[in-house]
């Protein structure tokens, strides 16, 4: 956690509101290593909380007025309780107001508050600053109003806040990654059972993030997309996945069987399920089944389904390869993931492709792929720690030559999850 960020927000809150904060919460951003758009398809993801995040300081206020002050954009806004609907401006406020709305359904919010927000996650870089803001708000305001949902319920609360107050039909990946992160480990999540496992990284693994500085660009479009257009494209992908799952549900009937071998309590393992069930999500469809039936689908929807079905298999295989110490195989799965995003899911853009294409030819880079929702943002790369500095410098130079603009490349460290910051 960044102590400078915490000191800054404490001082700024005292200056702006004339009182020390009653609580300070910090939530990290996340990087998606493998598992692109699989979370809302009841699939699997390997992710990590990172060493960049959002902090929120809060203190009680009289009456029913809630004031939000964002240091990074030097902007504030105020609303009256109860919070029942999003505001038209500023849009960033809705990530907090959605959380206030959700907390109000779980406890008593009897007075207003003053909140100060600051962060060091590059906006638009695909590192989930939005979920970090939601989680920090949920922890900080939860502390103020003595509303303390369990960690997984807190993730769902933040997801609902984003779904209902911003219109983005996001899954739970970002919130879970921010809450469950651990130092020097990945977060493996099964989004059907919501079983979460910490996967240790060896000392020979290092991740880089290369920010294209393309905030919202869609491959093949005439120009940059507005944030609402990106949300529309994201929501369209989700709808296409749901349509594909419905199709496979109409043609397949499966025996119920365990899939990933996660057991919460090995002393009391769950009893094997029996019987049959229809496809509920693309996670239930195998690659062979896709090959057998995809010709009967709309070609575009079939490609969307292929990405999710194969991506789930890549995540499970990557987990096995990481446990075996086979970083070359793990990295190759990252390259395959990006190719599928580019061709099947079409959520890449020319700048992301330029970075991955360059990385593919660099011996020091073990793997690379877009991270997050896509349509701009960042590429995550896996390298050996000794190669991080030289690989980052070479990649930035190649991006400058290919795209005519700068690219920020930094080492990111898998880090601890969100928490209340004590004095």
- Class at the top of the CATH hierarchy for domain 3-199+416-420: alpha beta
- Clarify whether 174 is annotated catalytic: yes
SS (H, E, C) the chain: CCHHHHHHHHHHHHHHHCCCCCEEEEEEEEEEEECCCCHHHCCEEEEEEEEEEEEEEEEEECCCEEEEEECCCCEEEEEECCCCCCCCCCCCHHHHHHHHHHHHCCCCCCCEEEEEEEECCCCCCCCCHHHHHHHHHHHHHHHHHCCCCCHHHHHHHHHHHHHHHHCCCCCCHHHHHHHHCCCCEEEEEECCCCEEEEEECCCCCEEEEEECCCCCECCCCCCECCHHHHHHHHHHHHHHHHHHHHHHHHHCEEECCCCCCCCCCCCCCCCCCCCEEECCCHHHCCHHHHHHHHHHCCHHHHHHHHHHHHHHHHHHHHHHHHHHCCHHHHHHHHHHHHHHHHHHHCCCCHHHHHHHHHHHCCCCEEEEEEECCCCCCEEEEEECHHHHHHHHHHHHHHHHHHHCCCCEEEEECCCCCCEECCC
**Domain residue limits, the chain:** 3-199+416-420
Active-site residue among 7, 39, 76, 174? 174
pLDDT of residue 214: 85
Digit-by-digit pLDDT tens for the chain (423 residues) are: 588 999 999 999 999 999 999 999 999 999 999 999 999 999 999 999 999 999 999 999 999 999 999 999 999 999 999 999 999 999 999 999 999 999 999 999 999 999 999 999 987 778 899 999 999 999 999 999 999 999 999 999 999 999 999 988 888 999 999 999 999 999 999 999 999 999 999 889 999 999 998 864 333 333 344 555 566 888 899 999 999 999 999 999 876 555 544 434 444 444 444 455 679 999 999 999 999 999 999 999 999 999 999 999 999 999 999 999 999 999 999 999 999 999 999 999 999 999 999 999 999 999 999 998 888 899 999 999 999 999 999 999 999 999 999 999 999 999 999 999 987
């Amino acid at each position: 956690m960044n102590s400078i960020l915490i000191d800054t927000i404490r001082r700024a809150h005292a200056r702006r509101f004339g009182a020390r904060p009653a609580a300070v919460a910090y939530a990290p951003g996340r990087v998606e290593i493998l598992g692109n758009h699989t979370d809302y398809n009841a699939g699997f993801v390997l992710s990590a909380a990172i060493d960049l995040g959002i902090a929120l300081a809060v203190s009680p206020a009289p009456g029913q007025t809630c004031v939000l002050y964002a240091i990074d954009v030097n902007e504030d806004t105020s609303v009256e309780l109860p919070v029942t609907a999003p505001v038209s401006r500023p849009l960033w406020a809705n990530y907090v107001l959605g959380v206030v709305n959700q907390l109000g359904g779980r406890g008593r919010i009897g007075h207003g508050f003053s909140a100060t927000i600051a962060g060091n996650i590059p906006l638009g870089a695909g590192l989930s600053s939005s979920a970090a803001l939601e989680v920090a708000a949920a922890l900080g305001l939860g502390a103020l109003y003595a509303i303390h949902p369990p960690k997984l319920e807190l993730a769902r609360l933040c997801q609902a806040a984003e779904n209902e107050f911003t219109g983005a039909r996001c899954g739970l990946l970002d919130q879970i990654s921010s809450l469950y992160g651990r130092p020097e480990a990945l977060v493996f999540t099964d989004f059907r059972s919501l079983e979460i496992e910490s996967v240790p990284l060896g000392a020979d693994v290092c991740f880089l993030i290369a920010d294209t500085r393309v905030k919202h660009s869609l491959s093949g479009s005439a120009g940059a997309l507005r944030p609402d257009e990106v949300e529309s494209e994201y929501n369209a992908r989700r709808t296409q996945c749901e349509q594909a799952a419905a199709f496979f549900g109409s043609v397949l009937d499966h025996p119920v069987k365990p899939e990933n071998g996660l057991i919460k309590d090995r002393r009391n393992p769950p009893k094997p399920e029996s019987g049959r069930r229809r496809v509920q999500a693309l996670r239930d469809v195998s690659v062979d089944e896709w090959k057998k039936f995809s010709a009967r689908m709309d070609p575009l929807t079939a490609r969307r389904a292929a990405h999710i079905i194969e991506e789930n298999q890549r995540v499970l295989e990557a987990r096995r390869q990481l446990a075996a110490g086979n970083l070359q195989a793990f990295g190759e799965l990252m390259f395959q993931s990006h190719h599928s995003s580019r061709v099947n899911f079409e959520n890449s853009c020319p700048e992301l492709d330029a970075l991955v294409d360059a990385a593919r030819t660099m011996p020091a880079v073990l793997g690379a792929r877009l991270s997050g929702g896509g349509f701009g943002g960042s590429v995550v790369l896996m390298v050996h720690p000794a190669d991080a500095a030289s690989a980052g410098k070479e990649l930035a130079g190649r991006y400058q030559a290919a795209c005519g603009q700068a690219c920020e490349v930094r080492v990111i460290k898998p880090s601890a999850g969100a928490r209340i910051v004590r004095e």
